[in-house]
């Protein structure tokens, strides 16, 4: 256990619990084989401000709660060390009032290559969840849950320069859950078609401005041999 003036860090096997702000003096004492990270009530603007990059190499589960200054999961500037997170499987974000973007589109690819579970709640600065720019990273995505984000307009946003969204397809081979609740400004889930091997029945509750139900269709391995 490492204790600072405004910091409490508990290392239990492969789990790290961080309450407060990690100081430069304390962060270098952390083991590098951590797999689960819980950040609470910190003052970081992005994930790599919270921990040095060696602590992120083996992360599979990240939960971030009540970090009011967090603006982005990955850096808003170039050279982001958050991209060393190549094994992330579960991402849970709760009550992050300054969060405006999860991942900037020009950040190096690979952060979400193994992501299976994405849970977002009470992040009122988010207008879109993810851009179609990251679609090739989400081949292992199984669950998407978004609750009580009052500014959310679109779940999978199209902002590619050469893509107007009319014919875009999102391919999530393993998606088995799509749950959207309490999104009063939500208008679109995806402008294109969501393709899955076993399409889930979406759960959509209290999304009064939603213009139409998402189009989710099945596809066969023969249609996309890469899978």
Catalogue all structural domains in the chain, each as residue range(s) with its CATH number: 2-218 (3.80.10)
Q: Looking at the predicted structure, is the pLDDT value of residue 188 above 80? A: yes
Residue 131, phi then psi, degrees to nearest 5:
-95, 155
Contact between 91 and 119 (Cβ < 8 Å): yes
> Of 222 and 2, which is predicted with more confidence?
222
Q: How confident is the model at residue 92 (pLDDT cuts 50, 70, 90)?
A: very high
pLDDT, position 59: 81
Query: What is the pLDDT, as a whole number, of residue 27?
Result: 46
pLDDT for 34-50, tens place per residue? 788 888 887 778 776 76
Pairing of strands 203-205, 177-181: parallel
Mean pLDDT computed over 219-224: 66
Strands in 66-176 per DSSP E? 90-94, 117-121, 128-131, 143-147, 154-157, 169-171
Greatest Cα pair distance in the chain: 58
CB-CB contact of 107 with 74 (8 Å): yes
22-45 average pLDDT score: 66
pLDDT of residue 39: 83
- Of 69 and 185, the structure prediction assigns the larger pLDDT to 185
Task: Collect all residues with Cβ–Cβ distance below 8 Å to 80 and sequence separation of at least 6.
Answer: 46, 48, 74, 107, 108
Q: Stretch 129-145: mean pLDDT, rounded?
A: 81
Q: Taking 90 as the threshold, does the pLDDT of residue 110 lie above it?
A: no
Return the half-sphere exposure (C-beta side, CA atoms, 13 A cut-off) of residue 135.
21
> Is the model's pLDDT at 106 over the cut of 60?
no
> Residue 3: pLDDT above 70?
no
What average pLDDT does the chain have?
A: 77
The pLDDT of residue 25 is above 50? no
> Which pTM does this prediction carry?
0.82
The answer to whether the beta carbons of residues 121 and 95 sit under 8 Å apart is: yes
Question: In this structure, what token pair is assigned to residue 37?
Answer: 């990270």
Q: Tell me the pLDDT band of 138, cut-offs 50, 70 and 90.
A: confident
């Amino acid at each position: 256990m490492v204790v600072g003036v405004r910091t409490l860090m508990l290392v239990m096997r492969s789990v790290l619990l961080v309450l407060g702000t990690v100081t430069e003096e304390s962060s270098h004492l952390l083991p590098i084989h951590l797999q689960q990270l819980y950040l609470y009530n910190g003052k970081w603007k992005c994930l790599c401000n919270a921990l040095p990059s060696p602590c992120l190499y083996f992360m599979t589960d990240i939960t971030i709660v009540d970090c009011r200054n967090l603006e982005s999961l990955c850096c808003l500037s170039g050279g982001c060390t958050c991209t060393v997170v190549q094994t992330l499987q579960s991402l849970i974000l709760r009550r992050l009032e300054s969060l405006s973007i999860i991942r900037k589109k020009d950040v190096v690819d690979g952060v979400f290559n193994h992501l299976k579970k994405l849970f977002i709640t009470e992040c009122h600065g988010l207008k879109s969840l993810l851009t179609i720019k990251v679609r090739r990273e989400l081949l292992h995505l199984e669950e998407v849950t978004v609750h009580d984000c009052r500014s959310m307009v679109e779940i999978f946003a199209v902002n590619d320069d050469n893509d107007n969204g009319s014919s875009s397809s999102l391919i999530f081979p393993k998606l088995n859950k799509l749950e959207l609740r309490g999104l009063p400004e939500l208008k679109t889930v995806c402008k294109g078609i969501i393709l899955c091997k076993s399409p889930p029945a979406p759960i959509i509750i209290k999304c009064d401005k939603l213009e139409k139900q998402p189009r989710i269709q099945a596809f066969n391995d023969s249609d996309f041999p890469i899978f």
